[in-house]
Amino acid sequence: MCHQKTAEPIAGCPREVLGNQQGFALVLVMGMLTILSLLGAMVLSSSSTEVGISGNYRTSREAFFAAESAVMYAMGNAEIVKSTLSVDLNETSLTPALDHATNLTLGSSGLDPNAVNQVINLGPGLLPVPLRAVYGDKFGANYYLISVTGARISNGQVRSAARIEAQSVRLFPVSSEGLTTNF
């Protein structure tokens, strides 16, 4: 009796819902909302990662530039160049020319205070062979080894560090007494 086709629904028989699309729009909208929410969460996660990567890159570059400026500072500082001993760049002093740690700090970048930062005067010697071929024996060279660690410091902690070891040569004219440095 429930399977007979009539214009009116038969009491006690379930209504035919195969052709009825009520509620489909709700299911479709909920599915699209879920997909868009997942897509938004992925974009947010990706952008957060990119911001973190660029921040790390920036701090590592600041540390490298701090170390590089320490090398340039060491070779441009007359007190360091004249010294016949090793110079500790971590030292502080009341004399501005000798206060290397303060002179090498800019904002939150500078030398890593926990690292060995020094300039070692290796002493005078002959010019390297390619330079000796050009200048002969008229000039000598004073050799330096510079070892520094630049750091980006935040809240008293080293966030990023970059180590540079460089060698430097300063030429000087050879006197009649031989290899003596006169700066």
CA-based radius of gyration for the chain: 37
Which pLDDT belongs to residue 126?
85
Residue 1 in any domain: the answer is no
Which pLDDT belongs to residue 50?
92
Q: How many domains does the chain have?
A: 1
* Structural domain boundaries, residue 58: 24-173
Please give the sequence-ordered ranges of beta strands (E in DSSP) within the chain, or none if there are none: 87-88, 109-111, 118-126, 139-154, 157-173
For 116, the enclosing helix (H) or strand (E) is none
Burial of 96 (0-12, 13-18, 19+ CB in 10 A): exposed
Which pLDDT belongs to residue 35?
96
Rounded-to-integer distance, Cα 32 and Cα 135, Å: 78
Q: Mean pLDDT for each 10-residue chunk of the chain (183 residues)?
A: 64 61 85 96 93 89 89 86 85 75 83 89 87 85 90 85 89 70 49
